[in-house]
Amino acid sequence: MKIFHFFKYLTVDPVSFSLKAKILSLIACFCSIFFIALITKIATPWPSYPMIVASMGASAIILFFIPGSPLAQPWPVIGGQLVSATIGVYCALNITDISTAAASAVGGSILMMLLMRCLHPPAAATSLTPIMAGAPITSLGYSFVLVPVAINVISMLILAIIINRWVLARDYPSPLPVKKHNKQQSVIAPAHQIGFSEQDLALALSNSDVFIDMTHTELSHLLTQVEKYAFKRLQGQILCADIMMKELITVEYGTDVEEAWQIMQQYKLKAIPVIDRANRVIGIVTWHDFFKFINLNSYDNLQDKFRAFIRRTPSVTSDKPESIGHIMTKSVVVMTEETHIVELVPLMSTTGLRQIPIVNNENRLVGIVYQSHLIAALYNQKMT
């Protein structure tokens, strides 16, 4: 039985790709190596220079099969290869014993890659190339770092970005988390949010000696997806269409500011979707949008200022916004009616959104979900 368990581990697929993705990645490796060799041959007409370094084959596997790995990002690829090539040439020229030179080249390249934060495993093989090849490479001196290594690496990286992004539709290089700031509406995230944060993830990894072969951003995204799938399994299939408010009050781009304010007061609304004639959402108006254009100092009367702002200007020209389209927030987060409510939880718990318009498959407004609807749905589901 132990033998069967051993063979079971041998059948584990190290790359969880579909067959189509594996074939496309294989073709990408083939094309990248072909074009790298071709580019280097055209750029270096001297026959004494090699066209390609053998370690480019291993780099191709990393770049096209695990592009989300920290080892596959641009700096590790470029920095690791060039540093290792330099150390390999130095050891080949200054250490006569091949065994000592090989060990020094690999050890030195790994040390420098760790110090420079550009660890790229195939680069260690590059450091061995001048030592194992002997005179044909050592006679080139440090020019080996430029030709063919630098040309190979730069060509490989350019092809990796083009193929991964525009052919394989992968997010390469893996992006760093960017804080987005909306100039029209400031959103303050709560101090205590549901789930884990990037800081929690970084702290957990820093206290562990386990290497995770993906960036923090991708790992965070993966764990978030796990949380969502677990939520769906436990809470059931509750869609936005099941909890949204269908009786909607909307305004259009040309609606007067004063009229929109009166509507909000009459129906006690905190936000109104702005739609076009095709009933598609083009913006949203909240209380904040009415007050963001009013400048106050310690001696101004807010009530008088606000009345003057919303009152329609009788003349043809005006120095203030007159229609809702001029004050609305244009960047609107919408969800489809077929979306599971688990997608609403992070939006409403961490971004400060209190209402989300719901659209159909034609992108037409069909409802709106408020925080109270989501809370009620979660509470009712928990009670059942």
What residues have CB less than 8 Å from 19, skipping those under 6 apart? none
Question: Measuring CA to CA, how many Å separate 312 from each of 192, 249, 260, 271?
Answer: 42, 22, 12, 21
**Do 58 and 150 reside in the same domain of the chain?**
yes
Range with the poorest average pLDDT among 29-43, 95-109, 365-379 = 365-379
Q: Model confidence over 184-227: pLDDT tens digits?
A: 333 333 334 445 666 776 777 667 666 566 666 777 777 777 77
Q: Give the tens place of pLDDT for each residue, 163-178.
A: 999 998 888 987 644 4
Question: Nearest Cα to 249, choosing from 205, 284, 214, 222?
Answer: 284
**CA–CA distance, 19 with 234 (Å, rounded to integer):** 31
The verdict on 161 and 287 lying in the same domain is: no
The stretch 265-282 carries a mean pLDDT of 92
283 inside domain: yes
pLDDT at 240 exceeding the cut of 50: yes
Higher-confidence residue: 230 or 4?
A: 230
Residue 143 shares a structural domain with residue 19: yes
Pairing of strands 355-359, 281-286: unpaired
Residues 137, 21 within the same domain: yes
Q: What is the mean pLDDT of residues 33-58?
A: 89
Q: Please state the pTM of the whole predicted model.
A: 0.59
| 263 and 143, same domain (yes or no) | no
Within-domain flag for 193:
no
Q: Of 167, 197, 221, which residue sits at a domain end?
A: 167
- Which of 152, 167, 182 finishes a domain? 167
Query: Are residue 277 and residue 366 in the same domain, yes or no?
Result: yes
Strand runs labelled E in the chain:
251-252, 271-275, 281-286, 335-336, 355-359, 365-370
Give me the percent of the chain exceeding a pLDDT of 70.
Answer: 82
Length of the chain: 384
Instruction: Give the three-state DSSP class for 374.
Output: helix
List phi, psi (to 5°) of 192.
Answer: -115, 110
| Lowest mean per-residue pLDDT among 40-44, 146-150, 175-179, 356-360 | 175-179
Indicate whether 33 and 153 sit together in one domain: yes
In a domain, 221, yes or no: no
Look over the chain and give the mean of its residue pLDDT values, rounded to a whole number: 84
Q: Among 167, 185, 211, which residue terminates a domain? A: 167
The secondary structure of 214-281 as a DSSP string is S-HHHHHHHHHHHHHHHHHHHH---BHHHHSB-S---EETT-BHHHHHHHHHHHT-SEEEEE-TTSBE
Average pLDDT over residues 10-36: 86
* Four-residue CA torsion sign, 326, 327, 328, 329: positive
271-275 and 251-252 beta bridge pairing: parallel
At 381 the pLDDT is 62
Task: Kindly state whether residue 3 falls inside one of the protein's structural domains.
Answer: no
Which residue range forms the structural domain that includes residue 320?
A: 241-383
Quote the number of domains for the chain.
2
Q: Annotate 19-60 with DSSP letters as a single string.
A: HHHHHHHHHHHHHHHHHHHHHHHHH---TTS-S--TTHHHHH
Instruction: Assess whether 21 and 147 both reside in one domain.
Output: yes
Residues 146 and 276 grouped into a single domain: no
CATH of the domain at 337: 3.10.580.10
- Give percent above pLDDT 90 in the chain: 47
Residue 304 lies inside a defined structural domain of this protein: yes
255 and 371 share one domain: yes
Tell whether 202 is covered by a domain.
no
CA 203 from centre of chain: 20
Report yes or no on 132 lying in a domain: yes
Which residue matches tokens 């280097």? 40
Does the structure show a pLDDT above 90 at 59?
Answer: yes
Q: Which residues contact 4 (CB under 8 A, 6 or more apart)?
A: none
Coil, strand or helix at 355 = strand
Q: What is the pLDDT of residue 282?
A: 95
- Both 372 and 261 in one domain: the answer is yes
Same domain, 269 and 157: no
The mean pLDDT of 11-31, rounded to a whole number, is: 85
Decide if 213 is inside a domain: no
The pLDDT score that the predictor gives to residue 3 is: 60
Q: What is the pLDDT of residue 226?
A: 74
User: Confidence class of residue 317 from pLDDT cuts 50, 70 and 90?
Assistant: confident
Task: Give the mean model confidence (pLDDT) for residues 97-119.
Answer: 96
